[in-house]
Amino acid sequence: MRAARVGLLALALIGFAAPALANTDGKSALYEVIFREPYRGAWKRLTAPVVSSNRWLKGARGIWHPARVVMVDAERFKVFFLCKVNECAANRISVIFTPDGHRAFGAFRTPAGTQILGGPNDDTRRALLRVLNEEKPHD
């Protein structure tokens, strides 16, 4: 009984410590997350303006790095990273999902420049750009 209470307390503390993390069930790759709803729909809406000329975004086909946890507005969020095979330095995206997975925000770089997708607030935009710029290309 005592072990059960300790276990429940630990679960409660974990839930309290990371209230804003998207429910991604420990997944750290973008392609793993977007294959189920609501993340799939959020991903499609996020990439709709750019996917026709960047087909590698469809299905998140590319080189991924494990998700990083960042602080945005004093809450923890996972930022996912993906880049195009053999063109990682010039074609990349960083993505944050809302905790319920229904919305996504992104920073997307191509040789033409960087676009902010999904209308994030300033703190979220800065976090997306930080990850986009810090990740090292692995072509």
Type of residue numbered 119: G
pLDDT of residue 93: 98
124 within some domain: yes
15 within some domain: no
- pLDDT over 90 at 138, yes or no: no
- pLDDT over 80 at 124, yes or no: yes
56 within some domain: yes
Across the range 67-94, mean pLDDT stands at: 94
Number of domain units in the chain: 1
Q: Identify the residue with better confidence: 10 or 27.
A: 27
Across the range 82-105, mean pLDDT stands at: 95
**Which residues on neighbouring strands pair with residue 110, listed in sequence order?**
113
Average pLDDT of the chain to the nearest whole number: 84
70 within some domain: yes
Q: Is the dihedral of CA 114, 120, 126, 130 positive or negative?
A: negative
3 within some domain: no
- pLDDT over 60 at 15, yes or no: no
Q: CATH number, domain at 44?
A: 3.40.1420.10
14 within some domain: no
Q: Which domain holds residue 80?
A: 20-134
**Threshold 0.85, pTM exceeds:** no
Q: Identify the residue with better confidence: 36 or 138.
A: 36
54 within some domain: yes
Asked whether the beta carbons of 47 and 40 are under 8 A apart, the reply is no
Asked whether the beta carbons of 86 and 139 are under 8 A apart, the reply is yes
- pLDDT over 80 at 12, yes or no: no
In whole angstroms, what is the distance from residue 72 CA to residue 50 CA? 25
